[in-house]
Amino acid sequence: MPVLTWEFSAQDLARTRFARSPLSEVVTSVEVLKDPGRQAAHLPWVRQARQRLAGVRWELLSALIRLPTVYVADFLTPVPPGPDETIERQTAALAAADPAAVRRDLARIDSELHPLVAELARDPEPGLARLAAEVRAYWDAAIAPHWPRMQRLTEGEILRRARQMSAGGPAALFADLHPLVSWERDTLRIGHSRIDVHRRLDGARGLVLVPTVFAWPGVFSQQNPPWQPGLVYPPRGVATLWEATGTPVPEGLARVLGRTRALLLAELDSPASTTELAARTGLSAPNVSHHLSALHDAGLLARHRTGRTVLYLRTEAAELLMHPQ
């Protein structure tokens, strides 16, 4: 398999950061809608999205994202400049993209352009205004209803990765990021279907890690000099977003902790709030809160506040209980 490798310096590691990107969710979700069979975990969302998108105009957006995905124009897949981009900022930046950059990106497509894309290349400014409006309409219909839960999932992912890195350094940060991603010494290796190249980061940019729900089950690199390169990957626990999964409860753990507390630990494969856990398990919120507090006091859960929400996540001790060697 071809491999993309990025060689890091100490300065690159110091500049490596996380970011969330609504626009990345839009682009990858369009890929899911076009070929849902490859991303079975998202099928419950696909059914809802198709109903919500009835009557929504997003032809240009669809034409820009072709399958199989070889290249998506860089102006539509920017590496987020900040940690928490909003769809408002990203669509405004899209509408104001440099026409020369748009033409340059579209010229990289090595097949015949869809008529709408060819028109965008001929006259970028009105085409970009249309594209930004389509992205926002698509977002409002298909993604906005789920965005708070998606945010909590990616927030939990960033939390978990930060804890891993604080405990074990870069090797721990990248250890289970994705099956196609590995870290050895100062080099990050990413299995790739088409690219086989070794690059050295220049010490001034680092890497942006962009957890993206609809990237599942893939991983994608973003390279658009002079900006930081990015790595789009799926956060842990994507399937829990769309439907109750009937999480299995380890029987041995249930006998020790009680079935309710064992169930809550099992549900926390990805971080979640009291309200989410109550909805998933059918327990009352006060009952869930009582058991979470007991698990926290026992050192099996950690808490993290994000805005007005408190997320619970399993500690290393709990992970050992859930996955004994």
Range of the domain at 115: 22-145
Residue 239, in any domain of the structure: no
Residue 101, in any domain of the structure: yes
pTM beyond 0.85, yes or no: no
Among the candidates 127, 145, 163, a domain finishes at: 145
Q: Note the pLDDT tens digit of each residue in 276-297.
A: 888 777 788 899 999 999 999 9
Question: Which of 203, 218, 220, 266 is CA-nearest to residue 240?
Answer: 266
Question: Which of 60, 67, 66, 70 is CA-nearest to residue 95?
Answer: 60
* C-alpha torsion sign, points 220, 230, 101, 194: negative
Query: Burial, 225: exposed, middle or buried (Cβ in 10 Å; 0-12, 13-18, 19+)?
Result: exposed
Residue 311, in any domain of the structure: yes
User: How much is the average pLDDT of 178-195?
Assistant: 87
Give the DSSP H or E segment for 31. Answer: helix 22-34
Task: Please state the domain count of the chain.
Answer: 2
Residue 63, in any domain of the structure: yes
Q: What is the CA radius of gyration of the chain?
A: 21
Residue 158, in any domain of the structure: no
Residue 194, in any domain of the structure: no
Contact status, residue 275 vs residue 267, Cβ threshold 8 Å = no
Name the range with the highest mean pLDDT among 81-90, 121-130, 232-241, 242-251: 121-130
* pLDDT band of 325, cuts 50, 70, 90: low
Among the candidates 100, 120, 145, a domain finishes at: 145
3-class secondary structure for 147-179? HHHHHHHHHHHHHHHHHHHHHHHHHHHHCCCCC
Among the candidates 122, 145, 168, a domain finishes at: 145
Q: Note the pLDDT tens digit of each residue in 71-110.
A: 899 999 999 988 889 999 999 999 999 999 999 999 999 8
List the beta bridge partners of residue 246. none
Residue 202, in any domain of the structure: no
Residue 210, in any domain of the structure: no
CATH, residue 256:
1.10.10.10
Other CB atoms within 10 A of residue 100 CB: 9
Question: Which of 148, 153, 140, 152 is CA-nearest to residue 26?
Answer: 140
* Whole-angstrom distance, CA of residue 172 vs CA of residue 247: 27
